[in-house]
Amino acid sequence: MTNEITTVGSELQLSATTSRRINSSLESLFSHPISTSSHPNDEYESLMHKLTSMSSTRDVSKYMIILIGLPAAGKSTVSGHLIKFLKETNTTLNIRCQMFNAGDVRRKEKTLQIAQDETEDIFDPKNSDRREEFAKVAFNSALDALNNDKCDISIFDATNSTKQRRKYLFNELRSFNHSLNSKFVISPIVMHITCSDKKFVRYNVHHKAFNADYFDKQYESSIKDFARRLTHYYTQFVPYTEDEFDHMHSNCLYDNHHGIFYFHIANAGSTATTNIIKYSNMASYDTVKLITALDHFTTNYAAMFGKQYISKVKSFTQFSKVISSNHYNFSNALKELSRLKLLRSVIDDNYFKKLPRFYEINRILEE
């Protein structure tokens, strides 16, 4: 895994940005009518107090982790591992993390019905406008939680599979950072979670059949529905590349105190990837501590968490292991074997062959 760490942006450019922000804040302070009844010293004291509290809150580091990845790639699971890791690491144990899942917003609105046709199918690209609405609700909650100091890192958990969506998110963060109503400056951190190994995909889809979308559905209809969902996503998913990062970097440099960061975990850490870490000259000590921890987490993910998962995937596909792990429960063994057979017939080689752009997308990711 090759990681790129640089410091970017001249101090002059960045301090110009900061002073622009402080100047506009000052303007707002002075635009309030100044009371003539109080003593001039009181006025001064109160102004200084306001300034001190303003600069101290706006200087506290807040971050939004924007996840990118196809359904069942492992985004939520890896995020859970990340939260655990940060809690158990000395330098980051006080950082408060919260997850915001676009799927949870969708589920609150309506229990997922297995679609009979495309008009009902929320994952059909034809219905992407509705999905955008759910994602916006989750994203705004993630922003609010940071602004109201409910957490220090919010993890925005959605597939964020199009460039258009990502552009929208970065622009929103940019406007947030410029707004005088914002109490903090938020730095975006992109985390790409990808899964191209067919055995992993099969295992993950199997586990999706037991998630909140399908709690009241039959196994067969659940995996078929999820397989269709994945197919829809393959028609629209655009992998996040270094070009997009560079574009975001040149657009965000002036808005961001701390820098721009990109992390990638592929196949639970078993495939080599590249992290890109570009600090600005004004990155805080807290930011460096967090980014160092994230770099360690992603670089060592396979050893810390991936290994166990990979060994489970290996034994999952072996009929003999299913039988031996259900040694005392014959009917359970039969049930699991029939599910496995079904899964293998739905998510078979032909399914992958027919997945739109499966090889193209994964080639880009592994370049």
Binding site for ligand ATP (CB under 6 A): 69, 71-78, 103, 159, 204, 207-208, 268, 305-306, 309
DSSP tag of 339: H
CB of 140 to ligand F6P, least distance (A): 14
- Give the separation between CA 126 and CA 59, rounded to whole angstroms: 43
Residue 260: helix, strand or coil by DSSP?
Answer: strand
252 is catalytic: no
Give 139 or 279: the residue with its C-beta nearer to ligand F6P: 139
Does 97 qualify as catalytic in the annotation?
no
Q: Which amino acid is at 312?
A: K
CB 122 within 8 A of CB 225: no
Between 49 and 130, name the residue whose CB sits nearer to ligand F6P.
130
Asked if 154 and 176 touch (Cβ cutoff 8 Å), the reply is: no
Sign of the Cα pseudo-torsion (248, 253, 255, 257, in order) = positive
Distance from C-alpha of 308 to C-alpha of 324, rounded to nearest angstrom: 19
Q: Which does 192 bind (CB under 5 to 8 A by kind): ligand F6P, ligand ATP, none?
A: none
3-state secondary structure of 235: helix
Q: What is the CB neighbour count within 10 angstroms for residue 52?
A: 10
Q: Which of 58, 62, 81, 106 binds ligand F6P (CB under 6 A)?
A: 106
Residue 207 partner contact from ligand ATP, ligand F6P, none using kind-dependent CB cut-offs of 5 to 8 Å:
ligand ATP
Least separation in angstroms between CB 53 and ligand ATP: 39
Which lies closer to ligand ATP via its Cβ, residue 75 or residue 166?
75
Site for ligand F6P in 130-169 (CB under 6 A): 131, 135, 158-161
12-71 residues near ligand F6P, rule: CB under 6 A: 71
Active site residue: 121, 152, 157, 255, which one? Answer: 157
Q: Which of 97, 121, 152, 195 is an active site residue? A: 195
Q: Which residue is nearest to ligand F6P (CB)?
A: 103
Closest CA to 153 of 265, 3, 8, 297: 297
**Residue nearest ligand ATP, CB atom distance:** 74
Give me the phi and psi of 316, to 5 degrees please: -60, -40
73: DSSP letter: S
- Between 215 and 330, CB nearer to ligand ATP: 215
Annotated active-site positions, please? 157, 195
Q: Which residues bind ligand F6P (CB under 6 A)?
A: 71, 102-103, 106, 131, 135, 158-161
